[in-house]
A and B are shown apart, each in its own frame.
Chain A
Amino acid sequence: MAHLTPTPVIEPGQDRTMILNMGPQHPSTHGVLRVILEIDGESVVRIMPDIGYLHTGIEKTCEAKFYQQVVPLTDRIDYLCPLTNNLCYVLAVEKLLGLEIPPKAQWMRVLMNELTRINSHLVWLGTHAMDIGALTVFLYCFREREDILRMFEMISGQRMMTSYFRVGGLALPPPLGFFEKVREFADRFPSKVDEYENLLTSNPIWGIRTKGVATITAEDAIALGASGPTLRGSGVDIDLRRDMPYSGYENFKFNVPTAKEGDVYARYLCRVQELRESIGIVKQALDGMPEGPIKADAPKVVLPDREKMKTQMEALIYHFKIITEGFSVPPGEVYQAVESPRGEMGYYVVSDGTAKPYRVHMRSACLANMQLLPKMCEGRLIADVVAAIGSIDIVLGEIDR
């Protein structure tokens, strides 16, 4: 591996260097990321990410919608983990309202979130391995991802843009046969993770392309705002699910995988271990799923059941009011953060007492993680840039919003 040690950095401004555009339509930039590279031969002298190609002004749009109408927008931010975004937003609004969520809804949220995490990590693993040249893993990962998407379709009617959580609970009760399907998947999945690991973990080519590549120290990672597996890959032991629990995560037992090296391989190991931990949480959620309602007892906020709406006058009035006028939220502000597959996903929601949010800000884990790229890549080969971008697992929808 000696030939892969970083080449010496050439001072910028020397006329040996040239500027190379990578993206915005480069397959390994995972969307529409443009990276401007100053290169000297094969080695990168400077690197500058250029973002904004997918900016849709979602934060502005949120200010013109009722609180409930924002939920479908949050799906579109990060299309690989829609339920995590749903959860983060509804938790923030519920905190503003002071709503108490019944246990069954909380456990269902945890269950769906961990399935989402597996879904997101599978896309990451497949595309990351494909970028580096291991094509088979992609097909294996998408095979299992398809199972999860079918479960999402079963529960919400949508494969990707689920919008399954509501302020105050869930949209629908889980359909018959759903838990059996999840259990069957949870029993099968660990052997599939073994399959991916067989292909990669001790594969010498994978090792050469990832070990010691794009290294980042814990101090740099904290200073540059990294979070999630990117931070834990550098040895910082923080996971919001365990350390600042939300939505009933304090009832679950799981390990937080960390690695010390801070390179692409360390981040790979963290995420693969997370796949196993997530399936453990899914099993715990299935075993201990409480019985009871799936919506909070708050008639002015939560839509009534369809049956009640058709038989009771009061329920019909509430339904009409919520649909036409929304529900008003007491003034205040809340910052709610959850551990998304990519790191700390935060929603800062400000209410002015009306039925529309005054301000919704999304703290994107990817945006902060991307600031690590120059530190990771400068002085290394162009091929390592591809590995580094894959290893921080960016989703451009979330970066640009």
Chain B
Amino acid sequence: MPLSTAITDVHDLKSHPALALLLRWNSAAIEGAKFDRDEMSILVDRAHIRDACVLLRDDTSCPFNYLSDLTCVDWYPSEPRFEVVYHLLSIPNKERVRLKVRLESESPVVESVTSVWPSANYFEREVFDLFGVRFTGHPYLRRLLMPEDWDGHPLRKDYPVEGYR
């Protein structure tokens, strides 16, 4: 099973149902796409992520009705620094797709998807806690794992592994 090269041209990937749907809806909101190791990643503009999620959830032919996972990657020191990653699963079609949003370090803010999938509640709180990314419209954005009075966000790359002593 040698690795095949990743396809990053949006036009070559148009046949993928989720990408085709998003492009029909608003091609300006799609910043890029990648098909690598049998997994589809779609880069969505920050302002449109919630609408894109609603669209994918409510699609009739392939509804991505389940939010598997929501997390974040810190690409410090390059910009845009944060990448919020959404893993969607279609329970009827057994399909997966990955959405991504890139956020600049001076304003790591993105709209919450708790209104689309209530399951995003804990996932977003965890990302807020460990990365300091804020989710607007979240019903209860408080630290989840670390103590309430903790300084800093431990999973950021500029936070030392041993912590501050």
Chain A residues with a Cβ under 8 A of chain B: 51-52, 55, 57, 59-61, 63-64, 95-100, 222-225, 236, 238, 243-244, 330, 332-335, 337, 344, 346, 348, 350, 358-359, 361, 363, 367-368, 370-371, 400-401
Contact = CB atoms under 8 A, between A and B. Distances in A.
A98 B96 contact: no
B122 A368 contact: yes
Given A55-B146, A59-B155, A60-B161, A348 B87 contact: yes
Chain B CB within 10 Å, residue with most, of A222, A236, A344: A222
Nearest to A370: B122
Interface string B135-153: 0000000011111000000
A301 to B, nearest CB: 13
A98 B69 contact: no
Contacts of A99: 1
B122 A332 contact: no
Contacts of A401: 145
A344 B73 contact: no
Interface string B80-94: 000001010001001
30 contacts: A55-B146, A57-B154, A59-B130, A59-B155, A63-B161, A98-B2, A98-B3, A99-B1, A100-B1, A222-B65, A223-B119, A224-B118, A225-B67, A225-B117, A225-B118, A225-B119, A238-B91, A238-B94, A244-B94, A333-B41, A335-B96, A346-B69, A348-B69, A348-B85, A363-B68, A363-B71, A367-B122, A368-B119, A368-B123, A401-B145
Given A51-B145, A337-B68, A368-B122, 4 more contacts: A52-B144, A222-B91, A335-B87, A368-B119
Contacts, number: 96
B98 interface: yes
Contacts of B66: 222, 225
Contacts of A359: 73-74
Contact of B71 (A57, A223, A348): A348
B122 A335 contact: no
B71 A61 contact: no
Contacts of B2: 98
B119 A335 contact: no
B105 interface: no
Contacts of A225: 66-67, 117-120
Given A52-B145, A55-B145, A60-B154, A335 B98 contact: yes
A332 B5 CA distance: 11
A96 B37 CA distance: 7
B3 A224 contact: no
A346 B1 contact: no
Max chain B Cβ within 10 angstroms of own Cβ: one of A52, A98, A238, A367: A52
A46 B41 CA distance: 39
Most buried by B among A60, A238, A332: A60
Contacts of A100: 1
B59 interface: no
A70 to B, nearest CB: 14
Greatest chain B CB density within 10 A among A335, A337, A400 is at A335
B122 A371 contact: yes
A222 B88 CA distance: 12
B132 to A, nearest CB: 14
Contacts of A334: 37, 39
Contacts of B143: 52
B58 interface: no
A359 B119 CA distance: 22
B91 to A, nearest CB: 5
Contact of A371 (B6, B37, B118, B154): B118
Nearest to A92: B37
Nearest to B159: A60
A168 to B, nearest CB: 12
Contacts of B144: 51-52
A363 B69 contact: yes
Nearest to B157: A63
Nearest to B71: A361
A60 B146 contact: no
A218 B47 CA distance: 31
Nearest to A352: B75
B3 A243 contact: no
Contacts of A60: 154-155, 159, 161
Contacts of A96: 37
A95 to B, nearest CB: 6
A52 B38 CA distance: 34
Contacts of B161: 60-61, 63-64
B4 to A, nearest CB: 8
B36 interface: yes
A372 B150 CA distance: 27
A7 B120 CA distance: 30
